[in-house]
Amino acid sequence: MKTISTQLSHFLENKELRRNLPLLMKFIGLLVVVIIVFTVLFHFIMLYVEGEEHSWITGLYWTLTVMSTLGFGDITFQSDIGRAFSVVVLVTGIVMLLIVLPFAFIRFFYAPWLEAQIRTRAPRELPPDTRGHVIICARDAISPQLTEWLEREDIPYVLIEPDPTTASEWYIEGLSTLIGEIDSHQTYTNARANAARLVVANHDDIVNTNITLTVREVAPDVPIAAVSADENAVDILELSGVTHVLPLKRWLGEQLANRINAQRAGLHPLGEYGDLKIAELPVHNTPLAGKTIRETRLREETGVSIVGVWERGPLQSADPNRELTEASVPVVIGEEEQLEQLDSVLANYDVNPNPVLVIGGGTVGEAAVRSLRKKNVPVHLVERDSSRCKLLRELCDQVYCGDASDYSLLKEAGIDQAPSVLLTTNDDAVNIYLTSYCRRLNDELRIVSRITHGRNLEAMYRAGADFVLSYATLGVDAITSILRGKKLIVLGEGVDLFARQVPPSLRGKTLAESGIGAMTGMSVVALKRDDETISRFSPSIELEEGMEILLIGSSEQAQRFNELYG
């Protein structure tokens, strides 16, 4: 509980209050003078006009009852002068007591007092027994999804905010918040950084360096993950003591570049889980198009399992009867040799040898171009900034400087023949517009785009995008992989891998009897028993105590799993 002295100290620290309090006191002083004057005039009028004599207490009593509009009527004037004086007292009371005084009290006293109470809601120090928590140094594009994941995984966290009012607002919203300056030694002492699981420095590079140096004074061994916007700052951050540097913009460009179709059919590697590899399999221009998942016989022929299907929208379940279209991109899982075998089979099918079209030559676009060039994929770039055009001319086969909404420019850049278009601008509205525009110009395109805000995901898919990935999702995936001690796996927007121990409610049941897929919509992609990872299993396999289930799905589906099975 906050003490009265603490609230009073914050109350008196309010600069606006200290400036306005004298005005309030002046008004109260004026009100007292007016009441005294009216009390004196009451005596004179009563004595010399009405011929009555009253005590001073009676005069004060009459003045206050008239000014406050109570008007008991036990003392009244009979003369016109007296009644006119009563009207003046009444009107003055209405103005000063019923209008000006409440406004002044609320404005100069109550509002600052209420603000002082709000400002003291968020704590300035965590409990001494706090352990295993995550310290987040800013509320940015990444933090909303990150805090949601931490709450779902039952991992404590705290957001640091220097402004007490903002911190208290977050605290009232239900976010764990701590008031403190991000470059203060005391802040990280109060945040129990020496007992934290991870510190996330998610300001700009300069501030992140300062945060790291400050944290290292308090907690020399705590892991620190720092988001880096500039590639040149990576070494500086590492030298300052950052454990994990996250150059998210470069990674975003590379992840987007990894999702395009170019030159030949083949797998797009996504990551690995233990001995299992995860990849995407675009079926465009391959014999798999037009077949159901059961008819592909991938599991029987290669040992690779389809665990989900992208098709210009959210990830769909791998129903054996689902038909794969030219736009389908199944997510597959298997051992390295199995995936290599499948990739070698697909290599016989040409997709499109024409250059990939990249629209947007910023940091993300440049990273995408560099990634594509490493794979010897020809690239045409469209960028409106002439300085960026000159900078990237050496990286691309051709650079077209101008507005991407110009049809003639896109046609010249090869929109009609390109196998894929990659949208890397940082404006969601522009990317939605360009997605719709490019889809109408070439329906065979594979359109891969970035977004800034998750709320625009559905609009991107409606516009015709095949794959969408946001900066925030990539950041959350990177940080959660650090917390889980796993390698980074980026499946896509709104989709993740979840490892769960078999709960008591499912022990002894077969996978078919568990109803996991039907009840939650998640797909079971593998089972882990001791050190053995099982990717090829039948629905009749029994779920045993100590066994780990690897699932793929959305955070909402994972929450549903937790609610149903514990």
Task: Provide the percentage of residues in the chain whose pLDDT is more than 90.
Answer: 42
Is 362 in contact with 378 (CB distance < 8 Å)? Answer: no
d(CA 343, CA 337): 10
Which has the minimum average pLDDT: 24-38, 99-113, 365-379?
Answer: 99-113
Is the confidence at residue 383, as pLDDT, over 90? Answer: yes
Least confident of 7-21, 95-109, 270-284, 551-565: 7-21
Q: 387 and 452 share a domain?
A: yes
User: Per residue in 221-267, pLDDT tens?
Assistant: 999 999 998 888 899 999 999 999 999 999 999 999 988 887 677 78
Residue 213 has pLDDT above 80, yes or no: yes
Both tokens assigned to 61: 């009593």
Q: pLDDT-based confidence at 5, cuts 50/70/90?
A: low
Give the 3-state DSSP-derived string for 381-397, with helices as H, strands as E and coil as C. Answer: EEECCHHHHHHHCCCCC
* Residue 166 located in a structural domain: yes
Domain membership flag for residue 489: no
Compute the chain's Rg from CA coordinates. Answer: 35
The parent domain of residue 44 ranges over 4-119
Domain end call among 413, 441, 473: 473
Same domain, 139 and 113: no
- Average pLDDT taken over every residue of the chain: 87
What DSSP string runs through 35-81?
Answer: HHHHHHHHHHHIIIII-----HHHHHHHHHHHHTT----SS---SHH
Same domain, 513 and 445: no
**Distance of alpha carbon 182 from alpha carbon 447, whole angstroms:** 40
Q: Are residues 290 and 312 in the same domain?
A: yes
Q: Who wins on pLDDT, 495 or 83?
A: 83
CATH of the domain at 303: 3.30.70.1450
Within its chain, how far is the Cα of 120 from the centroid? 25
- Contacting residues for 408 by C-beta, under 8 A, at least 6 apart: none
In the prediction, which pLDDT does 1 show? 44
Q: Are residues 282 and 312 in the same domain?
A: yes
Does a structural domain hold residue 531? Answer: yes
**Amino acid (1-letter code) at residue 316:** Q
Give the side-chain half-sphere CA count within 13 A for 493. Answer: 27
Which stretch of 113-122, 407-416, 554-563 has the lowest confidence by average pLDDT?
Answer: 113-122
User: In Å, what is the CA distance from 296 to each residue of 93, 281, 398?
Assistant: 89, 12, 39
Please report, rounded to a whole number, the percentage of residues in the chain having pLDDT higher than 70: 95
- 529 - beta bridge partners? 532
Asked if residue 468 and residue 360 are part of one domain, the reply reads yes
Tell me, what's the pLDDT at 41?
Answer: 93
pLDDT score, position 122:
80
Residue 525, classed as helix, strand or coil, is: strand
Please, which pLDDT band fits residue 180 given cuts at 50, 70 and 90?
very high
Are 280 and 268 in contact by the 8 Å Cβ rule? The answer is yes
Q: What is the pLDDT of residue 138?
A: 93
Dihedral sign of CA atoms 204, 210, 211, 212 in order: positive
> Which 8-state DSSP code applies to residue 213?
H
Task: Compute the distance between CA of residue 328 and CA of residue 344 in angstroms, rounded to an integer.
Answer: 20
Tell whether 251 is covered by a domain.
no
Which CATH number fits the domain that encloses residue 33?
Answer: 1.10.287.70
CATH code for the domain of 426: 3.40.50.720
Kindly report, residue by residue over 306-359, the tens digit of the pLDDT. Answer: 888 888 888 888 888 889 988 888 888 888 888 888 888 877 776 778 899 999
* pLDDT score for 273: 77
**Confidence grade of residue 269 (pLDDT, cut at 50, 70, 90):** confident
Q: 425 by DSSP, 3-state: which?
A: coil
Boundary (domain end) residue, out of 193, 211, 246: 246
* φ/ψ of residue 120, rounded to 5: -100, 5
Residues 317 and 384 both lie in one domain: no
Full DSSP string of 96-131: IIIIIHHHHHIIIIIHHHHHHHHHTTS-SS--TT--
The domain boundary residue, chosen from 246, 272, 291: 246
pLDDT at 561 over 80: yes
DSSP 199-210: EEE-S-HHHHHH
Alpha-carbon span 554 to 550, nearest angstrom: 13
- Given a cut of 50, whether residue 538 has pLDDT beyond it is yes
State the pLDDT at residue 516.
85
Same domain, 361 and 342: no
SS3 state of residue 327: coil
**Position with higher pLDDT, 10 vs 479:** 479
The amino acid occupying position 283 is V
Within a domain: 127 = no
In terms of domains, do 104 and 192 share one? no
463 and 370 both lie in a single domain: yes
Same domain for 24 and 68, yes or no, is yes
Compute the distance between CA of residue 420 and CA of residue 356 in angstroms, rounded to an integer: 5
Pairing of strands 268-273, 276-280: antiparallel
Report the alpha-carbon distance of residue 442 to residue 421 in Å, rounded: 10
pLDDT category at 134 given cuts 50, 70, 90 is: very high
Q: Where are the beta strands (DSSP E) in 243-374?
A: 244-246, 268-273, 276-280, 305-310, 329-335, 356-359
Rounded CA gap, 262 and 256, in Å? 13
* Per-residue pLDDT tens digits for 27-71: 889 999 999 999 999 999 998 888 888 999 999 999 999 998 888
Gap between the Cα atoms of 539 and 512, Å rounded: 5
Q: What is the pLDDT of residue 8?
A: 54
pLDDT value, residue 117: 63
Q: Residues 369, 417: one domain?
A: yes
442 part of a folded domain: yes
Asked, for residue 519, whether it belongs to a domain, the answer is: yes
> Is the confidence at residue 439, as pLDDT, over 50?
yes
User: What 8-state DSSP symbol labels residue 4?
Assistant: H
Is there a contact between 544 and 529 (Cβ–Cβ < 8 Å)?
Answer: yes
Mean per-residue pLDDT for 163-190? 90
* Structure tokens, 341: 């075998």
Residue 124 covered by a domain: no
The total domain count for the chain is 5
pLDDT at 15: 64
Which pLDDT belongs to residue 120? 66
